[in-house]
Structure 1
Amino acid sequence: MKFAISKAQKFWQIFGQKILGKKNLVFCLMLAIATYCSIAIIQPAIATNNQNVAKQNIPSLLSQSHQTSLLEQGIRLYEQGNLAEAVTTWQQALITYRNDQSSGSNKLSAQLNEALCLNYLSMAYQELGEWKQAQTTINRSTALLDQQLTSKEGMAIAARISNTQGSLQLAMGNPQSALDSWKIAAEKYNQLDDEIGLLGSQTNQAQALQALGLFRLASEQLEAIELHLQKQPDSILKSVALHSLGTTLQTLGDLAKSQKILEQSLAIAQQLNNPAESSATLISIGNNFRFIKDIDGALQKYEEAAKLSPVSIIRLEAQALILSLLVESDRLQEVKSLWQQIEPDLAKLQPSRRSVYLMVNLSESLTKIRDAKDRPITTSKIADLLTVALRQSQAIQDRRAESFALGALGGLYEQNQQLTEAYQLAQRALVLAQSTNADDLLYRWQWLSGKILNQQGKSDLAIAAYRQAVKNIQALRLELAATSPEVQFAFRDRIEPIYRELVSLLLRSENPSQENLIQARLTLESLQIVELENYFRAACLNIQPQQIDAIDSNSAVLYSAVLKDHLAVILSLPKAPLQYYSTNISQTELEESADQFLQSLNPAFSERIRLKISQKLYDLIIRPTEPALIERQIKNLVFVLDSSLRNLPMAALHDGKQYVIEKYSLALTPGLQILGAKSLDRSQLKVWLGGLSEARQGFTELKGVKFEAAQIASQIPTNLELNSNFTKLNLQKGLAEQDTAIVHLATHGQFSSDPESTFILTWDDRITIPDFYKFLRDRTDNRSNPLELLVLSACKTAEGDAKASLGLAGIALRSGARSTMGSLWAVNDASTSKLMSNFYDILIKQPTISKAEALQQSQLSVLKDPQYRHPYYWAAFVLVGSWL
């Protein structure tokens, strides 16, 4: 597995030493500022990282000699993105240093200089994807320093080398070794009394901890770093350091804290009248707005950055970001006006990796305008722009950039239906991506090849290409989720379609083979996993494939796939081959029906129309499977739902005579691969219950919460915290310290496709998914027993959010609970109290019953009450995870 190295890692890897001479510090600081800002537009993760490199400072032991000049020339070339020329220049410097050692002229200094130069070379080889040479070079650098570590200069270079070694190890998919290397670097910086270097190494460690899944430790590390930085006096160095920390937090998904720190960085840069760093930080702040879909906010920051920047490439990169947002917002007149500003300046750019990425990003933004009449330039001119980018990449001998340009050109030809040329370009891009270990590009060109082959009628070859693309995405799960925020932004455009198109190919016939059905099912589950990990911004799910036979012989699993022109359903029964059902219906029509069904669940809506829509959905999803379900005497249905279907209450679907809940108990799961199914241990059931009955933080009162809490407490041992006692701190203590199997939260909350908008309300705060994870991590650290059941009463999905169920699934999985029960909408207080009371009564009095059956019986008890027969009162509650 290959990992892109984040810009923050590289900044801290190479920046800031107290032993530097003032002249060299200023020189390298300006190099850092000059390029730190750029963010690529929805491009490979490595592309972003390549553009955001702050160069290492040159130790004061170096004299202003020819060798130093070569070293600095290499730094400038590296900074500009001319990696091959930088390598050549540093290799020339190495020859001079070795000659100095052979002649006995200042042998010690020449040895240290050679070690430093080798460190630079290793960094360049990493950028070029030449892992073997990068490792060999850094090993040579380390060996040279073995006898020089007692000197201050030698220790300073050794610290840098450890940082470079850590970056290489993370890039090669070994975060534990990277963490160890960065700890060694931190020790050396500590011995040198270099606080900036120490904080930098600790920041790198936080990202390694994140990659290892140790999120709580990573968070604590970053909080300590922020505290130390705040104590530093204001300086441009502090501004750049805060900028680095802010982008690290952005990468790790903590956008609120990232925004706060980036604004501090900006304030210092503006106070010190440094337009380059101000522009850099404005772009990063704009990215935060973009990630939360505040388009106007992002545009404003990008525009400020473009106006302020004294460096033309940075200004163009900011303008390219603006153009991409304008295209996505269909503000095409503004696109045309902006392109007229950008186009003349492109011809003035010197060839570099940054210029190549800039032109490719611009071309991809322009090709998203599907109607060629609305494009500010013709398709042939876009091809010319990509050809210039391709020639520049070849001129600077940058094979990764060349692959990026070739693949983009192939995509343009594919869009123009010039399939033969498109396939040839895609294959050339593939070969280059493989030769440079660019796995983050590889899956894109495999996808492109698959699309072209499918259009050429070569289905088997197309499936093979798609499967390779999915395989590479699976290998890149951690990188895509944890180190590449722009991938999260582009998920629907760049990752999700690959899975859906593969499923569509596998199910293209009316009677797919078992092999294809098994592959389609695995692909659907894999999509659920990467989608949730993209939601979490971390590859954190414990994947353990399980068969339905081994879990429950009385259950069936229904997988749905919402495809462009039909709905596919795969039925998995215990000890039986997979069965396949397909209904012709467009994705648009299906989504409209799902939306209408949700609206019809309002009691004021016409019952006749509600039942009609409900029966239509039943006919699409469940009716085709009925004969097999009846024959196998299935009692429980487990749904792995797709797209807009995930927000629907399956319990309220109607077959014309009765509701689904009257025939089956139900559960939802993102997939059996991440289920962890296990029966509830009733031997020592205890509940920790927190709730709000009073109006709080702008939310209305929940009058039924007190009655609900009292009913539960009368049935099962309960630790009760209501209203002012239901605080964030008390919830944390309750989860960490109470040996309870069930946590029940009766309060306002919301599930959303945006993690920032998914929360549970306490008296004094909003509990987010990261909060839940921290709290349950504390519990896991202190208790051997996991949480059996998390109940979220009175919460709801965000209105109009087609993927709001991601928030419910996110809380369910991130909490670590085996099962989570939540409500899809805010339900009537009285009916909820009755349902919850019945649920716990059934759990206690019927020890052999499953959680899904207990929920089914409690829902039926409400349904049978004449005043609550409408699905609004009972259908909202769903069980996610283990149904046993």
Structure 2
Amino acid sequence: ERARAALKRQGDAAAAARLDVNLGNIHHWSGRPQDALSHYDRALRHARREGDDSTIRMIQMNRGTQLSALGRLGTAEDLFREIVDGAEAAGELRHRAIAQFNLGYIRFQKGDYGSAFDTLDAARRAFEELGDELYLTGTLIDLAELFLEVNDYRGARTTAERARALAERQGLWFEMGRAALFEAVATLAQGACAEARSLFERARESFREKGDTAFQALCDLYLAEVDVRDGDPGTATRRLRSAAKVFRREGLRMQCAVADLALAAVYLDGGKPRPAADALRTAGDYLRRVPAPWLRARLAHLRARLATAEGKPGLARRYFRDAVRHVESIRGRIGIDEFRVSFVDDKAPLYADLVGAVLESGRRDAVAEAFSIVERARSRSLVDLLAGRLGTSDVARDEQTGRLLQRVEELRAEHNRLSGFEGGTPGHRSGLRRERRAADLRACETRISDALRRLQRRHAHLGALTSGETITLDEIQGALSEDHSLVEYFFDGSRPLAFVVRRDGVSVVRLRVSPDDVLRRAAQLRFQMERGAETDDANGTSRAAALLLGVRRHLEFFADEIWNPLEISDRTVTVVPHGGLHSVPLAALPLPGGGAVVDRHCLSFLPSASCRRYLPPPGPVDRKSRLLTLAVGDAGTPAVGREVADIERRFPRSVRLGPEEATREAFRREAENADIIHVATHAAFRGDDPSFSGLQLADGWLSVHDVYGLRLNASLVCLSACQTGLSSVSPGDELVGLSRGFLYAGARALLASLWRIPDSSTADLMAHFYEELAAGEGMAESLRKAMIRAREVREHPFHWAPFVMLGGESPYPG
């Protein structure tokens, strides 16, 4: 400041302007955006007098950064768009990339996550091509923050780790701190509180050493969340008050709102409505001037909770509806399926609270509205995918798309090599240990995901940019026959419930069991069920009886808690499970008076009732149907040949792809024209990243990503491999796995398994199923009869109850 004053006295305006830029930079790095903006404004006035367009663009970019930090996002966005256009016209590639980098972050702050990813990813690629590690580091940090916002914690942590390594190499302490901070947030989100606290405290100390009070306060904001999880709301409250004071002093509106919302949540959890109301009033004042839809959703949700605590149910319902509306306005603009799935990960309580408030109102239309909310809360990304698929053709092969598709194929080949498939020996595993290549494999998967996101954004239907409409109760009732019920479970609230929809009415049954109990007992049931493998040759022995008794205890629990209270009498039942119920074999549940569900009811399943609107109706299946069998067995699956041969005997128009012929290209080519596709091969479910779950073919893995690219017209796809029905289930009840991929690819019905079973049991059950199907029986009824016949040979449900039928019924109108 003294040097600038001396230069002004000497009349050296140009040097003083350069010092203004430097002073602005100092204030920026110190977390004082208002002071920084004042210096940049003075420097800009001088640059305009001189007419130096390049310098003007550089200063304007600095100004835009400060305007963004101050919450003036609309002004900042207009400014950066102008800079992008000017830099492009002048051929200044670096300035253009820098402006894109800043523009992407503004769009992120405004909740336009799809557009933000596009812009930031374009900037990242530009900086990589320019070799500009400084701005590449900043762009990666912003991408990590974006991944956190859509709850892609794995992507956030990987990206933040890369950014931190780059920052350390360049000695960029501020970027190191930010990267470490977001790495800590991802760690906290994954449930590692102790590790996250350590990372937050290290990041805070780094900012303290450099005098950055704003980022110290941001660390305190996250440490307060750790305190709450550790049961220390008092410390959390003190941290949040201190952070809010810093944010107000520095004029950081959005951060002020975040701190006040966090304070309000702590007060509400502690039964203190009056200070909660004060904090929400202050947060609302800040958010009137900040376009942040997710924060507004959180504000509305907390206001609804406050209204509930104050005994104002009508006001609470209004605020709950506002919260859901804000969430859906953001979700609708996310054009990447992966982000849509993860985005709702922490939004489920908003929908659950609204469902509870609507049902408690007792209004005449309460049940219909509650059902509509439940449908909006579950599997919405899959509904959008199915809706976007209709009427679309193959991806248009423009030049950039062609390069992206070629890149994806190259990366998939690399992925198969790292997974143990060696070129020239299709279908055989190399002897390499996969563990030694785990890091390379994860890096390859990250590059595949990156390329597929870019491809999705270029082609709206691949990314579910369309939004499918959810179905109404009236539509469902109009489509049900006299002897057909639809049962839809909803487990997101404290009181789980089930909608039982019949042609002549709807009932809502509140269940006694908690969502946590369902998850716990489902895991225990799975453990006991898989022990049934020991009964293959032990029918009638005391050992078999003991194993059967162990599994029956858990089946009886689910029968008593989630099936019998519904009092279902209709023979045909379409079930929409939720949460842990996706892995429970409902057909095996015992009924009062003897027998099991499979003896009295014909079951089919749907991820959501709305999916049925967009699933094409199955065509007729009989002996004239075209059958494609994929048989890739080995020494561990000796019955695969018998299984496939028996099926082919019933359908003369068949094509078989064996261990040598079953390449990805051959499968893609033959599957397009098949009416029935029967897949008998090894499957792998990836719990860490379900989109890389796959089926083993001759030349590598057919992953979920690959399945999305198929164009099927099959009435039935049968995945007889082990665990093909397993999916990752997010709190938004989105299923991510092979089932999702095949439904999107065009399968009208899907038969898949929930656990590993011996191939001999599979072969027997499939023989019964296809015998019924070839005789003209319906798909769900064929499965029901096949299970009953298989049970006569092997009593343990491990052998006869693993398969579920997704779809397979007539579509609802619409």
Bin of the TM-score, shorter chain as denominator length: 0.7 to 0.9
| Letter matched to residue 653 of structure 1 | L
Shift of 1:855: 2.4
Of residues 695, 707, 720, the one that matches 1:772 is 707
In 2, distance between residues paired with 1:246 and 1:636? Answer: 48
Shift of 1:246: 9.2
Alignment of 1:270-281 (within 5 A): 275-277=168-170
In 2, distance between residues paired with 1:705 and 1:249? Answer: 46
In 1, distance between residues paired with 2:121 and 2:296? Answer: 31
In 2, distance between residues paired with 1:340 and 1:258? Answer: 19
| Aligned equivalent of 2:689 | 755
| Aligned equivalent of 2:45 | 95
Shift of 1:465: 2.4
SS at match of 2:761: helix
Alignment of 1:67-216 (within 5 A): 67-78=17-28, 80-98=30-48, 100=49, 106-107=50-51, 109=52, 111-126=53-68, 128-138=70-80, 202=122
Alignment of 1:510-529 (within 5 A): 512-529=362-379
Of residues 519, 526, 543, the one that matches 2:468 is 543
Matched, 1:557 2:486: yes
Q: Which moved more, 1:432-441 or 1:471-480?
A: 471-480
Of residues 814, 820, 825, the one that matches 2:755 is 825
Shift of 1:482: 4.9
- Structure 1: give runs of 5+ residues left out of the alignment: 1-62, 101-105, 183-199, 205-221, 278-308, 373-378, 696-700, 780-784
SS at match of 2:610: helix
Change (3 A) 1:78 1:688: farther
In 2, distance between residues paired with 1:255 and 1:770? Answer: 20
CA RMSD in angstroms comes to 4.7
When normalised by structure 1's length, the TM-score is 0.67
| Aligned equivalent of 1:27 | none
Shift of 1:655: 0.9
Shift of 1:413: 2.1
Check conservation: 2:23, 2:36, Cα contact below 8 A.
yes
Change (3 A) 1:253 1:68: same
In 2, distance between residues paired with 1:421 and 1:369? Answer: 22
Shift of 1:823: 0.4
| Aligned equivalent of 2:799 | 873
Q: Which moved more, 1:423-432 or 1:318-327?
A: 318-327
Check conservation: 1:812, 1:881, Cα contact below 8 A.
no
Change (3 A) 1:504 1:139: closer
Shift of 1:437: 0.9
Shift of 1:552: 4.1
In 2, distance between residues paired with 1:677 and 1:748? Answer: 27
In 1, distance between residues paired with 2:573 and 2:588? Answer: 14
Shift of 1:715: 2.7
| Aligned equivalent of 1:623 | 564
| Aligned equivalent of 1:745 | 679
Deviations 1:579-608 (A, max 9, x none): 111233344444444344444543544545
In 1, distance between residues paired with 2:285 and 2:563? Answer: 46
SS at match of 1:622: helix
Of residues 339, 353, 360, the one that matches 1:501 is 353
| Aligned equivalent of 2:435 | none
In 1, distance between residues paired with 2:238 and 2:772? Answer: 70
| Letter matched to residue 670 of structure 1 | P
| Aligned equivalent of 2:511 | 583
Shift of 1:471: 2.0
Matched, 1:678 2:616: yes
Shift of 1:166: 7.1
Of residues 254, 268, 273, the one that matches 1:414 is 268
Check conservation: 1:407, 1:426, Cα contact below 8 A.
yes
Deviations 1:728-753 (A, max 9, x none): 44434445xx4224332212224465
Alignment of 1:426-465 (within 5 A): 426-465=280-319
Give percent identity, aligned residues only. Answer: 19
| Letter matched to residue 67 of structure 1 | A
SS at match of 1:795: coil
| Aligned equivalent of 1:636 | 572
Shift of 1:367: 1.5
SS at match of 2:603: strand
Change (3 A) 1:151 1:460: closer
Of residues 226, 230, 234, the one that matches 1:365 is 226
In 1, distance between residues paired with 2:805 and 2:55? Answer: 63
Deviations 1:608-649 (A, max 9, x none): 5644543442343333433xx54xxx3321112122112101
Change (3 A) 1:690 1:178: same
Change (3 A) 1:400 1:851: same
Shift of 1:318: 3.0
Shift of 1:390: 1.0
In 1, distance between residues paired with 2:97 and 2:198? Answer: 49
In 2, distance between residues paired with 1:422 and 1:248? Answer: 28
| Aligned equivalent of 2:422 | none
In 2, distance between residues paired with 1:352 and 1:122? Answer: 21
In 2, distance between residues paired with 1:726 and 1:616? Answer: 43
Check conservation: 2:185, 2:222, Cα contact below 8 A.
no
In 2, distance between residues paired with 1:254 and 1:331? Answer: 18
Matched, 1:392 2:326: no
SS at match of 2:379: helix
Check conservation: 1:126, 1:134, Cα contact below 8 A.
yes
Check conservation: 1:667, 1:881, Cα contact below 8 A.
yes
Check conservation: 1:488, 1:534, Cα contact below 8 A.
no
In 2, distance between residues paired with 1:201 and 1:481? Answer: 14
| Aligned equivalent of 2:641 | 706
| Aligned equivalent of 1:660 | 597
In 1, distance between residues paired with 2:156 and 2:197? Answer: 33
SS at match of 1:389: helix
| Letter matched to residue 632 of structure 2 | L
Check conservation: 2:84, 2:95, Cα contact below 8 A.
no
In 2, distance between residues paired with 1:712 and 1:424? Answer: 69
Check conservation: 1:679, 1:850, Cα contact below 8 A.
no
In 1, distance between residues paired with 2:317 and 2:484? Answer: 31
In 1, distance between residues paired with 2:306 and 2:739? Answer: 35
Of residues 713, 718, 721, the one that matches 1:791 is 718
Check conservation: 1:680, 1:851, Cα contact below 8 A.
no
| Letter matched to residue 669 of structure 1 | L
When normalised by structure 2's length, the TM-score is 0.72
Of residues 561, 585, 592, the one that matches 1:649 is 585
Check conservation: 2:496, 2:512, Cα contact below 8 A.
yes
| Aligned equivalent of 2:427 | none
Deviations 1:487-511 (A, max 9, x none): 988965x3233333333344458xx
Shift of 1:438: 0.9
